[in-house]
Amino acid sequence: MENKLKKLIELTKHLPENKLEEAIEKLEKIKEESEKEAKLGVPKCVKCGGTAVVRNGRKHNRQQYLCRECGKSFCETTDSAVFRSHSTKTVWKQVIEDTIAGIPIDDTAKNLDLHHETVFNMRHKILYSLEQSQKMNPISLEGVCEADETYVLESVKGKKIPLNYHRKPRKHGAKAQKRGISNEYICICAAVERGGKAFSLAANRAIPSKDEILEVFSDHVSGETLLLHDGTKNYEILSEADKCVTAAASIENEGLNNINTVNNYHSFIKERYHMARGFATSYLNRYNALFSAVYRSSDSLAEDIYNLMTDMSQSFVSISQTQSENLLEI
C-alpha cells in the first residue's frame, strides 16, 4: 500500500532550493481551492439536527458552524472520534491504512514526521472505534461456518511486570516457561463464514469452557448457522441452547470435512502477532476487532473506517479513555 504522504515528504526533501518556493506556492494554491470546494456544503447541526446552519469562522484551521435554531457552535468533527485532533483527514487516513497493513507505529511516525506517542494514540482511537462498532453491531455469521480456537502468549508489552506476578519477565520472541497449554497462553476463539465474514474474541487463559464458548458466540450465530468444529464437545453447548446447529468436521461428511478456513484465519492472526512482536493482552480484543475487519476486506476499508470515526454519532473518546476503558482482564 503506497504511502502518498511519505512520497510527498521525500520529494520535497530532494527539491533544489530555487524550486522549493515554487512547490510551496503551488501546494498552498491547491489547499485554498480544496477549502473553497469544502465551503459549498453546510452540514446539519450535530446537536439538534437542524438545517438553519451558517459558517462561523475558523478555529484551529477547521471550519466552524453556528446553528440558528439551537444556538450551538460546532465543527465538522464535533463529537466524532477525531474531535480535537490536530491531524488532517489525509494524515488520519494514512494512519488507518498503516494500521490495516500492520505497519509498526514507529515506521508510521517516521514516515509522517509525527511523534511515536501521537501515532500510538491515533491507532488506539481507531481500534477503540472498531471495537465499539462491533459491540453495537455484532458480526452475524450465516450459512456454513467454521469455529476453532488458537493461542497466543500473554503479553504485558509496554509495562513492568509486578513483583508478585505469576511468571518471570521474558524477552520478545521467548517461549513459554511451561510446556503445553498453560495460564501463560491466551485463548482466542474464532469463527469464519466460508467465503465470508470472520469474528474472533479472546475468551480466557487455556482451553475455553462450555459457558465461555456460549458467551463468545451467542450473539454471532443463529438458527440458520451451521457451525463446524474440530470435535471438541464443548461446542455442542451452542446447539443444546438452540443458538445454532453444530457439527464436527468429518471425512464422512462430503464438503463438511475440514475447518481449513478458520485455520487460515488463525494463521493470519499469528502473522500479525509476529509482525508486531506481540500485542499487549489488555488491548488484544481491540486487535481482534481489527483482524475481523481486515480479513477478506475490500479496498475501501480505510475510507469505511474513517467514515465510521467521523459519523458524528457521539463517538468521541479521549486518550485517557482508550487507555483505561474496555481493557481485557483475564
Q: d(Cα 40, Cα 232) in Å, to the nearest integer?
A: 60
Q: What pLDDT is recorded for position 40?
A: 56
Residue 283: CB atoms within 10 Å = 22
Burial track 292-311 (b if 16+ CB lie within 10 A, e otherwise):
bbbbeeeeeebeebbebbbe
Residue type, position 235, single letter = Y
Q: What pLDDT is recorded for position 41?
A: 64
Host H or E run for residue 4: helix 4-13
Q: What pLDDT is recorded for position 162?
A: 79
Length of the chain: 330
Q: d(Cα 42, Cα 285) in Å, to the nearest integer?
A: 37
Q: Which residues of the chain have pLDDT under 70?
A: 1-2, 34-41, 60, 251-255, 312-314
Q: With contact defined as beta carbons under 8 Å apart, do 108 and 119 qualify?
A: yes
Residue 207: CB atoms within 10 Å = 14
Q: d(Cα 289, Cα 235) in Å, to the nearest integer?
A: 22
**Segment 48-98, tens digit of pLDDT:** 778 888 888 877 677 788 888 888 877 777 777 888 788 888 899 999 999
Q: d(Cα 306, Cα 126) in Å, to the nearest integer?
A: 8
CATH of domain 140-301: 3.30.420
Torsion sign (Cα): 304, 309, 315, 318:
positive
Q: What pLDDT is recorded for position 255?
A: 67
Q: d(Cα 26, Cα 37) in Å, to the nearest integer?
A: 17
CA 262, chain centre distance (Å): 19
Residue 163 contacts by C-beta under 8 Å, 6 or more apart in sequence? none
Which alpha helices (DSSP H) does 80-153 contain, by range?
89-101, 105-112, 116-136
* 221 DSSP assignment: -
Q: What pLDDT is recorded for position 253?
A: 66
Q: What pLDDT is recorded for position 231?
A: 86
Give the residue carrying C-alpha cell 486487535. Answer: 287
CA 83, chain centre distance (Å): 18
Torsion sign (Cα): 285, 286, 289, 295:
negative
Q: What pLDDT is recorded for position 19?
A: 80
Domain boundaries, the chain: 42-76, 140-301
Q: d(Cα 196, Cα 220) in Å, to the nearest integer?
A: 13
Look at residue 202 and give its three-state secondary structure: strand
Residue 164 contacts by C-beta under 8 Å, 6 or more apart in sequence? none
Residue 7: CB atoms within 10 Å = 11
